[in-house]
Amino acid sequence: MSGKEQDECSQSNSELAANRLQKARLDAGFLSANHAAITFGWSIKTYSLHEEGAKHFDKDTAKKYSKAFNIDGDWLSSLCEDCLIKSKIKVKNINDEEEKKRREQQATNRRKLVAAKRLRLAREDAGYHTANHAAMRFRWNMKVYLQHEIGTKFFDEETALKYARAFNVGDDWFSIDDE
C-alpha cells in the first residue's frame, strides 16, 4: 500500500471512527463531547480530538468508549486497526531511515575530524608551526587547506597523497577507516 493510499485509508477510517463515536455519544444521550468526557472522567481535549477525527484512538480506547456508550465494541475498534498498524510501520521505517542518515553523518564528521587531526600532527612533525606557513611553502590555497586542517571540509585521496608527500608521512597516514 502506497503512502498516499495509507493516508487515505487512515483518513477515511479515522473520519468513519469519529462519526461512529459521535453517533454513539448522541445515541447515549450526551449532547456534547464535553458532557460525555466530564461524565466518564476522560480528558476533554483528547476525547474531542477523537470525535473530530483529528487523533486516532486504539482498540482499547474504542472498547472503553463502547462500554461507556453501551454499544458493540467491534463497531468502533475494527475500523483503524490495519491502517494504524501500517501507519506505525511507516513511521518506524521513516525513523529508521532518519537514524541511518544521522549515523552516516556522524561517521562522516568523525572521519573529517580524525583526518584534520592527522593533518595538523603531520604538519607540526614536519616543522611547520602554523597552517599559513605550510600553505605558503607549498603554494596551496590557504582557505581550503585551513578547512581541511580544522575539519570543516573533507579531502579526497589525491589531496591526502599530496599532503602525505609534503609532510613526509606514509601514503596511508590519512586513510580513515571507521574506528
pLDDT digits (tens, 9 = 90+) for 6-34: 443 445 667 788 888 898 899 888 899 99
d(CA 50, CA 43): 11
Q: What are the tens digits of pLDDT across the range 59-101?
A: 888 888 888 888 876 777 666 544 455 555 566 667 778 888 8
**What is the predicted pLDDT for the residue at 111?**
85
Q: What dotted CATH number matches 3-79?
A: 1.10.260.40
Rounded alpha-carbon distances, angstroms, from residue 36 to 16, 31, 72: 19, 8, 18
Average pLDDT on 154-173 reads 92
**What is the predicted pLDDT for the residue at 139?**
95
- Confidence check: pLDDT of 165 > 60: yes
The pLDDT-based confidence of 178 (bands split at 50, 70, 90) is very low
- Confidence check: pLDDT of 128 > 90: yes
CA atoms in the 13 A half-sphere facing the CB of 153 = 12
- Confidence check: pLDDT of 157 > 50: yes
**What is the predicted pLDDT for the residue at 138?**
94
Task: Report angle CA 156, 160, 166 to the nearest 5 degrees.
Answer: 150
